[in-house]
Every structure is written in C-alpha cells, then in structure tokens.
Amino acid sequence: MGHGGSKSSSSDESADGGGSDSKSRPSYRERIKQKFHLHRPPTTSQHSNLIDHDHFAGIALVTLKSAEMKFKDKWLACISIGEQTFRTQVSDQTNNPEWNSEKKFLVEKNGPHLARVSVFETNKLSKNNLIGYCEIDIFEFLSQASDSDVEVFELFDPSSSNVMVGKISVSCSIEDPIETEKSFARRILSIVDYNGDGKLSFSEFSELINAFGNQLAARKKEELFKAADVNGDGVVSMDELATLLAVQQEREPLINCCPVCGELLEISDKLNSMIHMSLCFDEGTGNQVMTGGFLTDKQASYGWMFKLSEWAHVSTYDVGLNSGSSASHIVVFDRRKKRLVEEIIDGKIVLSMRAIYQSKVGLGIMDKGAKEILQSLSEKQGKKMNSVESAKDIPAFLQFFKDQINLAEVKYPMDHFKTFNEFFIRELKPGARPIACVGRDDVAVCAADSRLMAFSTAEESCRFWIKGRKFSIQGLLGNIPCSNAFIDGTLVIFRLAPQDYHRFHFPVSGTIEQIVDIPGCLYTVNPIAVNSKYCNVFTENKRAVSIISTADFGKVAFVAIGATMVGSITLTIKKGDYVQKGDEFGYFSFGGSTVVCVFEKDSIALDEDLLANSTRSLETLVSLGMQLGVSSKKRADLSLPDINNCVLGD
C-alpha cells in the first residue's frame, strides 16, 4: 500500500451498515473487495467529469486524524489524489498534532487511487518545510480484511525513503452505490427538515420541491406528496423520499439544479447528478474541515508571503501554458500515480528565465552576444562537471531533488562515480524500466524519463504548446532528404529535467538510416522558453537528427536537442545498426534536455490520455518504456496487440 505499515487503531462502527437484508447480500467488506480487487485500473487517463455506472465505486471519506512526530512544531498535513489537493488546519505547537480533518472523494474503479499524504512544519514565513510523507493505495486500504477504518502509516524523509520521521493515523471508509442512494436522500431531506425529526411535512416538502428548480414538479406538489406518503401518515420519511426520488428520476426527473450551489444538472444523468449533490451537500454542512482548491501539496503548504505574491500577480499556480506569472511554477500530471505534481526548480533560475525568454528585451540581449555567452558557459560548466572536484556537488544535488531520485534503481553504488557527470549520466539496473508489450513492434514506447507532450500534427503543437513563431517540422529536422515525409506528421516531445535519468532509448524497432548533427544555440528547453513567442528553441538549438526505418511505423525521426549547460549529446549507436525498442540510444551530459520524435502522418495512434493532457497544455510525467501508442499503418500480416499483456511501466 505504498509507504506505510498497518498498525492497530481504534475500531469504528462496523461498516456493514446493518439492515434487515444484510444476510441476503454480500457484506460491506466483500462488496468493497469485489469492487477494487477485481478491477485494477490499467493506468490510462485521469477520470473525466462524467462517469457511468460501470466505473462508479462509491464516495470515500478520508480523515487525517493525528500524527506522531520527532520534534515539536506547528504542523499541517496535505492529501493529494488525482488533480485535487486538500490541507488541514495548522495544529498547536506539539510533537503529536491532531487534526481530525476529513474530505470526501469520488472513487472510480479506473480512476486515481494512489494518494500522497505530506506533513509540513510551519515555522517559516514564505514557505513551510516538508518533513515526511507516505503514499496510500486507497483501493488496498478499502479492501483490506480489517474491520477498522483507521490505519497508522509510517512517514518517510523525502530525502531518503528508508528513514522514518514519524507516523500518521488515517481513516478511510466508503459509501458503496447501494448506501449512497439512501445517504443522498438523507442529505436532501436535511435541507428543509427544520425540526430535525427526520420527516417532512407538506410545507417542508413544498420548499424542497421549489429548491429543485423544476417548475413542472412545483405545480404538482400535492400529487407528489401523496405519492411519496405511502403509509398515509401525513409526513414523508427518509425512506419514502428515497423511493420517490429513485422512481421519479426514472420517469420524470424532479431535480433540475443543485439546491446548494445552483448549478444546472443534466436531467437524464441520474448518477452524476447524485454524485454532484452528495459532494456539494457535504461542502455545505460545515463538516468538511480540509481546505481545497490546491493543485499540489507544495502549493497548499505555502505561507502568507506566497499568498501575497499571488495577490500581486508576481507568482501564481495554474495548469497550462507557462507564461507571465504562471511561469513561476511548472505543474505536470504523473501518469503512474495519476496526480498533479510540481517540478522542482530554483526560484532564482525561474526569475532569470522569465526575464530573458518572456520579453522582447530579454531576447534582444540574447541576439547581441548572449548566445555566445551561453555557449561558452555551457562548455565551461561541462568541463567543470567532468572534473574530480565536481563529485562533491553530488550530495547537494540529491538533497535539492529529495524524493525525485531513486538511488535504489542506480546500477552502481555512489562511490563508483568519480565526477558529477558520471553520476548525471548514470545507468539503471536491468529491469528498472519495464518495456511495454515486449515482442510487439507495433507498440511504440516512451523514449525517456521525461515530461511528455503529444500532438497529432505540428499545427496542434503550435496551438497548445510551442509558441515560437518560426517552428516547423522542416526547421526541426533541417535539410535531411526525407524531411518532407514528416509534414503533417505526429509530434511527441520528451522534456528531461536535471533530476531525471538522462539516457534516452529507442521508442520503436528498426534500422538507423541517417544521423545528422545540426549546430545551433543552447537555449533552455524549460516550458518558460518553449511557451515564449519570442524564442524558437527546437529549431535553433544544437541537435542530432536520426531517421529510423521501421516495418510498423514507416520512417520515424528522432531528434536529440541540447540545452543550456548541455554541451554534449552522445549517441551509443551508429548508422546502419538495427535496434529494438527500449535499447539505449545515447545520453545527455549535465543539464536539462529534450528528445522530439516525429512520426509520418497517420502512422501511429497515440494513447488517448497523452493527447488529452496535451490539449490542456499539461505535460505528462512518464517513465522510459511506458506505452506511447500503437501503429495505425495498414499491414495484411498485422494483428492487434494483446493489451492485457502490455504494461505502462512503474
């Protein structure tokens, strides 16, 4: 269940829910096991706003109860799942904070299920320090054999995942669809049950019908009241109201708008209307203590200084194009964990890049000699990182990126690396990056650990991501003889950050037809520059263009692009070699860098989740070997891949 070990805790009420029919149907725990154990998600796209009955599993209540820390401070905790992050209130000065903060989540069988809980000390003005974290598999939590809803998880140091820094108590329970119907009716009834007796008089019932916003139903109040009052006692009970809502929604829906927020509801979509109002009513009760509206735990943890900078438009959080103040923070979607994460980047570097790449003045300076300065700086930095003295910078590098570098995957121990660059171009242990659909050359894979953008055409890439005015496929590939074959082709961008594994691999199997080196600048490949209309990163930077001839995708162009501080692109293959997808192609020396793959028009059907995120201008964090797409070229001997045997990778 991610990080965390289950230890005893308080036992809440039995989750069976009782009822006279409890013996005639599976128990609560058995139903939950059936929902989650047998429906492991295939890790595709994030859940959409609207879901169907086959995907709906229930509404979960997660409570961050308390923690045991190793020193006294004022503490807050955050929980992140999918594209949502919530935070508790700040505790008193203590080493045993208590929050008892709860939040309800929609649970889907194929939706996000790996939640990250982060605990911060709050003694800083501008930002708070992350002290410990754990990851909780909500599916496993809900389907475990224990009757208790509470579990204790170990909190781990973000700098070293094997060092425990505390413990946190978390509870999680779920209303399955059978119980949600009753719970929904109970919340509806509570809106106008002024005397709290659990029953509605005709006047209370009339106000409820008015709140539903259905004019037709409002003219038939007496008829509906009589239909609901089955036992004829002059009041409508919770069970009677639940029956009326269920029956009437099938015949002639009563509810046109949410009584709490006023949002118009899709009349024919009973399930999503119920989900919306169930969550919305809980927001309105005052029971939900956690504060929402955050994208990442880092954003949720910031102090008042950051809030002031947001107010002044100096800094802001958003998903999408990183321009202006939005360029202060880069938020990406983690494909494996199905949640938003923030990229770590030094604040001073962000300000510098914004000054240079987001203004005409900055780029004007670049045109007047700064390009040569960047080239010289990159060369000097490259020499420095190859010196024996540079090895002393490795611990600080690891500390800065904390939990984003997994040393357990590295092929050699730390004392093997005699220079910083030796560590930077580190190899991984065999099997650390599983390759999707091994043996199926019609399935392409991700070429690197990276942040990915995928577009069906170059035109789409310019609309959603690349803002340089002179970008084109021909400009990217240079004057290679076959560049016209890629016009209107599919474009995939793999952006590597400094903390990533910096070796890139083949996304497809085939023969290397050409390798052409194109000299150029060394602009940064950070989105701040890529999203700038004043800069043409991909067509002006130094790059190595390779053409791969394949049986399943036709020709594929593979472009390795250098960047600031990346003076060296090293290829470990040569022209004429036959390669398998997943084989190593080469590596970048110190710095960030990018790989761009271009497929011929209509040769590949990219995975839908990658396309969907890209049309939101949202990068997807992927690992080498995850599935990228499937060949769509017509071949008489080509059968479809067995998707059940394909993996995205861990």
Pairing of strands 331-334, 620-622: parallel
Active site annotation includes 593: yes
- Helix, strand, coil shares of the chain, percent, nearest 5, are 30, 25, 40
206 CB-contact burial (10 Å; exposed 0-12 / middle 13-18 / buried 19+): middle
Among 505, 603, 609, 631, the active-site one is 505
What is the residue whose two structure tokens read 């009753």?
A: 182
- Which of these, 143, 103, 242, lies nearest to 185 by C-alpha position? 242
Residue 319: both structure tokens together: 């998903």
Active site annotation includes 169: no
Residues 512, 514, 516: CA angle, nearest 5 degrees = 130
Cite the beta strand spans of 311-391 per DSSP E: 331-334, 339-342
- Which of these, 452, 431, 562, 429, lies nearest to 507 by C-alpha position? 452
28 CB-contact burial (10 Å; exposed 0-12 / middle 13-18 / buried 19+): buried
3-class secondary-structure state, position 475: helix
3-class secondary-structure state, position 413: coil
Tell me the β-bridge partners of 78.
Answer: 87, 118
Q: How many beta carbons lie within 10 A of that of residue 178, not counting itself?
A: 14
Outline where 386-488 has alpha helix (H): 394-401, 420-424, 458-464, 473-477
Outline where 138-265 has alpha helix (H): 138-143, 177-192, 202-211, 215-218, 221-228, 238-251
3-class secondary-structure state, position 23: coil
Spatial separation of the C-alpha atoms in residues 352 and 96, rounded to whole Å: 41
Q: SS in 3 state form for 178-204?
A: HHHHHHHHHHHHHHHCCCCCCEECHHH
Q: How many beta carbons lie within 10 A of that of residue 499, not counting itself?
A: 18
Spatial separation of the C-alpha atoms in residues 326 and 304, rounded to whole Å: 18
Among 315, 390, 593, 603, the active-site one is 593
Contact at 8 Å (CB) between 420 and 391?
yes
543-549, strands of its sheet edge to edge:
339-342, 331-334, 620-622, 450-455, 490-496, 593-599, 555-561, 543-549, 510-518, 578-579
Backbone phi and psi for residue 304, each to the nearest 5 degrees, phi listed first: -70, -25
Contact at 8 Å (CB) between 374 and 591?
no
Active site annotation includes 92: no
Spatial separation of the C-alpha atoms in residues 458 and 601, rounded to whole Å: 11
Contact at 8 Å (CB) between 490 and 457?
yes
Backbone phi and psi for residue 584, each to the nearest 5 degrees, phi listed first: -70, 140
Backbone phi and psi for residue 351, each to the nearest 5 degrees, phi listed first: -60, -40
Among 449, 500, 607, 609, the active-site one is 449
Residue 145 DSSP label: S
Q: Which residues are known to be catalytic?
A: 449, 505, 593
